Amino acid sequence: MLSGRRLDLLDPTPMDIEIVDIAHGLAFVARWNGQTKGDYAYSVAEHSLLVTEIFCAQNPKAPVKWQLAALLHDAPEYVIGDMISPVKAAVGPSYGALDERLTAAIHLRFGLPAQIPATVKRQIKKADKLSAWLEAVQIAGFTIDEANKIFGKQDPMLTKKLHIRLRPPMEVRDDFTALHQKLMEAL
């Protein structure tokens, strides 16, 4: 990793995880395999910031630790990339197991339980689906009807207020790191 840490993907430990590596990696991993409108790829880091914003809007009383879990919901992708669901399914259960090991190490590194409660996971997934819907409609060329079929109908009050941002990777990396720091200080 750029921080100088060595990460064993098959046996990751919390001591090998650094937020600077996560933020940098996610800022350079493109969602939608880069097939989006705009001058910059829509990164997983930017997506994670949006999911956190949505999660907080949908769950205004959520404890800080679950806000942090929302920010880190796709953190393993800093080393394994962002694969679309059909590819994950084709790879099989070994992909899921790798993702779970990395997630557990990341969570433990930042003071979260290795596995977050199912109710919180569902709340984060709900925010993640709204983010995917927005991405589909705003930057990936989907119609609203197409997005509704794939991601489900979303709350129009939220969809009208939220806008996808396409920014340089270093700016997104810095914002991701800053939000992480703010949340860690509030824990």
Residues 31-70 have pLDDT tens digits of 999 999 999 999 999 999 999 999 999 999 999 999 999 9
| pLDDT grade for 90, boundaries at 50, 70 and 90 | confident
| Helical packing angle, 169-186 and 44-58, nearest 10° | 40
Closest by CA to 75, choosing from 53, 117, 47, is 47
In the three-class reduction of DSSP (H, G, I as helix; E, B as strand; rest coil), residue 43 is classed as strand
Query: pLDDT at position 94, please?
Result: 85
Band (pLDDT 50/70/90 cuts) for residue 86 is confident
d(CA 166, CA 185): 28
Please report, in angstroms and rounded to a whole number, the separation of the first and last CA atoms in the chain: 26
pLDDT band at 83; cut points 50, 70, 90: confident
Q: Which of 169, 84, 20, 95 is nearest to 7 (CA)?
A: 20
Judged against a pLDDT cut of 80, whether residue 152 lies above it is answered with yes
**How far is Cα 69 from Cα 92, in angstroms, rounded to an integer?**
25
CA distance 174 to 160: 26
What does the CA dihedral 33, 11, 14, 100 come to, rounded to 10 degrees?
50
What's the rounded Cα separation, in Å, for the pair 154 and 27? 26
Amino acid at the residue 47:
H
